[in-house]
A = this chain, B = another copy of it.
Amino acid sequence: MPTILAFAGSLRKESFNKKLVKIAGKGAEEGGATVIYIDLLDYPLPVYNGDIEEAEGLPPNAIKLKKLMDEADGFIIASPEYNSSISGALKNTIDWVSRKGSPDEVYLSAFIDKVALILSASPSFLGGVRGLAHLRSILENIHTFVLPKQKIISFANEAFDSEGSLKKPGDQKEVFDLGKKLSQTIQKLRG
């Protein structure tokens, strides 16, 4: 039974991407996974600075996030697009978690051979497609498998109903099915 860590790259309370994470998460659960939903807002981190790391090691929240990611088999990440790339919040999280918590840790253990589904919702018509291109390349360079299929939601401010579902049934199903596919892919790869 795979464990999937699900989170958005946005810190906003009413983030569209947090809604998207939930839809895919339900699909992953139907696919047999245990989904752990976290909110990066609950794990505030300083902006990464190598001098801080050298003097004090990883901050407690980085260690907590690292443990959660280490123990997960895969990730659902819904990322807003800020200035055609991923959010500073998401980049900063990846930067801290990619560091070793102790000398005997395996480098990049939180990411290597994990499987990720990436999604994006954005008020713009491009829906975050440029941000996902960066996110995909970042994750793959640290050896995470990224599902080739992704889903972007354009005009996100009009895309969700009051219950957090996507108004277009085709989109809702597609995101749900991608979550399910993530779960199934992990099970196959983990054997």
The residues of A with any CB-CB pair to B shorter than 8 Å are: 10-13, 41, 44-45, 47-51, 82-89, 91-95, 98, 125-126, 129-130, 133-134, 136-149, 154, 185, 188-189, 191
Contacts and interface: CB of A to CB of B under 8 A. Distances in A.
A91 B139 CA distance: 17
Contacts of A141: 83-84, 130, 148
Given A82-B95, A98-B83, A50 B148 contact: no
A142 B87 contact: no
A133 B137 contact: yes
Contacts of A148: 139-146
Contacts of A44: 47
A138 B12 contact: no
A130 B129 CA distance: 8
Given A44-B47, A91-B86, A189-B189, A140 B130 contact: no
Contacts of A10: 50
